[in-house]
Structure 1
Amino acid sequence: MKISMTSLIMVTIILMILTLTILISKKSNMSREKNSPFECGFSCMSSARSPFSLHFFMIGILFLIFDIEISIILPMTNTSMTNMQEWLMSSMITMTILILGLMNEWKNGMLEWSK
Structure 2
Amino acid sequence: MSSVAAGYLPILLFLGIALALSSAFVILPMIVSRFTGAHQPDPAKLAEYECGFPAFEDARAQFDVRFYLVAILFIVFDLEAAFLFPWAVSLDFTKWPGWIAMMVFLAELGLGLAYAWKKGALEWE
TM range (shorter): 0.5 to 0.7
> When the two structures are aligned, how many residues end up with a matched partner?
95
**CA deviation digits over 1:57-80, x for unaligned, max 9?**
322221111010121122112126
| TM-score normalized with structure 2 length | 0.57
- 1:72 and 2:68 aligned: no
From 36, 55, 62, the counterpart of 2:66 = 55
- Runs of 5+ unmatched residues, structure 1: 1-17
Judging by fraction of residues, say which structure has more helix: 2
- Which residue in 1 is equivalent to 2:111? 100
Runs of 4+ in structure 1 off by over 6 angstroms are 18-21
How much identity, in percent, do the aligned residues show? 24
- Runs of 5+ unmatched residues, structure 2: 1-29
- Which residue in 1 is equivalent to 2:120? 109
- Pairing 1:7-86 to 2, within 5 Å after superposition: 22=34, 24=37, 26-27=39-40, 30-31=42-43, 33-38=44-49, 40-41=50-51, 43-46=53-56, 47-79=58-90, 81-86=92-97
* Structure having the higher Rg: 1
Conserved 8 A contact 2:91-2:99: no
Give the CA RMSD over aligned residues. Answer: 3.1
| TM-score normalized with structure 1 length | 0.61
